[in-house]
Structure 1
Amino acid sequence: MPVTLTEAAAKHVTRYLARRGKGVGVRLGVKTTGCSGLAYKLEYADEAQPEDVVFEQHGVKVLVDPKSLPYIEGTELDFVREGLNEGFKFHNPNERDRCGCGESFRI
């Protein structure tokens, strides 16, 4: 299953890359950390790596390293504003549990 972006997330990424003046999209992966074991890592990517799995939606590329893909396959990346806070939200169908602080998850 692909990793997808909502229209709101794609617009945010497109605006940020335009302000930055460079970049091909966002790199999404996981790292081992936190109470539940895994945490998302998201960064703007200046170039694709040869091993990256690339998904594209709304004109924005999402680059995923092959080791992270089994943990985030099917994830939808959204960008939301809630009051004064704004940020990316991950809707991952593989998540079984999330720690109380919301920083890490378990598959």
Structure 2
Amino acid sequence: MVSLSEVARNEILKSLNSSQIPAGYALRVGLKGGACSATYLLGLDKATEHDELYDIEGVNVLIDKRHLMYLIGVRIDYAETESGMGFTIQKQ
């Protein structure tokens, strides 16, 4: 379904294990918007009644049940470039 590069996995775990993130939070992967203008959503969040919880390569990942079919084949990476650093999400 959703896959993580090793670099992205390490950065996510570093954030989740930070003393500033309360217990019970997980990585949320989803969509924002709808139809042709939808964009990927990535953040740290707590589960809701609409979520499924997955263990992906040692990372707890929350996905809203309504978004599951749109996230099949998504790969999350982390890149550092001249213009900055951050996560990238691509459909494979």
TM-score range, shorter chain: 0.7 to 0.9
Unpaired runs of 5+ residues, structure 2, are none
Q: CA deviation at 1:84?
A: 4.5
Unpaired runs of 5+ residues, structure 1, are 94-107
- Deviation sequence 1:37-95 (CA, Å, 0-9, x none): 111111102x32343222322311111101111211121111111125111111213xx
SS of 1:55's equivalent in the other structure is strand
Partner Cα separation in structure 1 for residue 83 and residue 16 of structure 2: 22
Partner Cα separation in structure 1 for residue 73 and residue 25 of structure 2: 21
**Given the alignment of the two structures, is residue 24 of structure 1 paired with residue 15 of structure 2, yes or no?**
no
Q: Is the 8 A contact 1:10 1:57 kept in 2?
A: no
Hey, what does 2:89 align to over in structure 1?
A: 90
How many residue pairs match? The answer is 89
How has the CA–CA distance of structure 1 residues 30 and 21 changed in structure 2, closer, same or farther, with 3 Å as cutoff? closer
Answer 1 or 2: which has greater strand percent: 2
Structure 1 length normalisation: TM-score? 0.70
Partner Cα separation in structure 1 for residue 14 and residue 57 of structure 2: 13
Identify which range, 17-26 or 65-74, moves more after superposition. 17-26
- 1:1-107 paired onto structure 2 within 5 Å: 2-19=1-18, 20-22=20-22, 23-32=24-33, 36-45=36-45, 47-93=46-92
SS of 2:86's equivalent in the other structure is strand
Overall identity of the aligned pairs, in %: 27
Q: Is the 8 A contact 1:28 1:64 kept in 2?
A: yes
Answer 1 or 2: which has greater helix percent: 2
